[in-house]
Structure 1
């Protein structure tokens, strides 16, 4: 029996091992062509829920030449990345993938997409200019090069993994740190705890005596993927900034990771957050690359 010829666009709710291998090969080709670090988590691709279409693949004569991925997390807003093999660009493949994703987004009532494109990708930036997408924000990806510890610390600060019983407290910290509505922060935390048995969210408190008497001042989340440990959602309540607590929390997180793993440690920071960039640089982080996030309507 002859193999079915794959041609044109296909959308998938789950990916096979063959699919993931071909996506990895296409990613490697695109990265090498422009010396990029395309932001695609292969652990996420292996764990697709199977309930919705988040992967859009484009074939030419049985060869994968184009791919669009929607992130798994989020409902109203989704990040997406697009890649097309250098030999098959300017043939409408990128547009066909985006049209299919938009149709899916409309069916699922997704309000907007954030198209992620590396600043150094001339082809990606050219396509974004052509479709008229608007820049929303930019982020540096920073990687820990050489951990620079400081010997001074406040013994009243404690750092522990948060459980379901801490959701309300963590939500208050996130709301104050990132100026987001507390109900939204609570809803996102409830969803994360429902989806992951151990989301590795950590809470920093300041004070003496029982935990219930201590003031929550910061939080962060650790996420291990594709051989890297990421630090996400790192926030410090405004009243406790510029007093050394942010650095102490970050150092404690790094020591915690290093106690069990030598995997690379990374984090993201918006390019206009100068105080945070200064903190991360002083701890030993260095900028690896910069990503732009563009608004794309559905």
Structure 2
């Protein structure tokens, strides 16, 4: 890999980080088909994470948070239909207003179709970006996107394509890779009572597939495989919350995007035709996923 190549990051994001539930960033680099995990960093406050983002440097990162809201939702609410303007408006609202506004939208819709979805949600199997609980991705967008913008990052998939950018942020989703290997088997839980031997085995199986470049991940990673030291492997397995593993999955998605960019693909391998208002999850196919990630 060229010495001038940007660093690679994967981020498991939290809209309310704490010592118990920090933001976790996996740092790595690519060497041929291998993605080497170089370390994990943890941030217990949004301010600490913002300072890290704002530091000088060149990187390509996969961030587990949505970059846009559904077009259908924005049209219904009469909010701006330009991405930057919609994000400015969204950032101006407090969480209580967001919750009540989105709840009223859902209450007015029929059972089975309460939430509005982005086009990428079907192929990725991801939660709607307007969902405010379990998981609160609406608040993750509200907290995270302004930090990325303030750091001067280029948000691929929602901003016009830039041939080169010092900091490139991509919307990642670890469930996309996990589902390809595990199907509907769960591999993590923040609830200690649910941190079962079955979930531990699932984490081991997922890492084995990533390290060997199993066929289940080939289409999503283009032949890339994860390279770990034994102590790193054990640490990822031991983290029953799955946060460290999720950050590593996002790192792999960032590595795939960086490789696509090096090969000359526009938008870091995102679809040529996409809605710049909504964004797209890196590596998501353009056809619906069969099952939602556990």
Q: Which has the higher contact order (CA 8 A, sep 6+)?
A: 2
Same fold (TM over 0.5): no
> Scaled by the length of structure 1, what TM-score is found?
0.23
Which of the pair has more CA radius of gyration?
1
Q: Which has the higher strand share?
A: 1
> Scaled by the length of structure 2, what TM-score is found?
0.23
Q: Which has the higher helix share?
A: 2
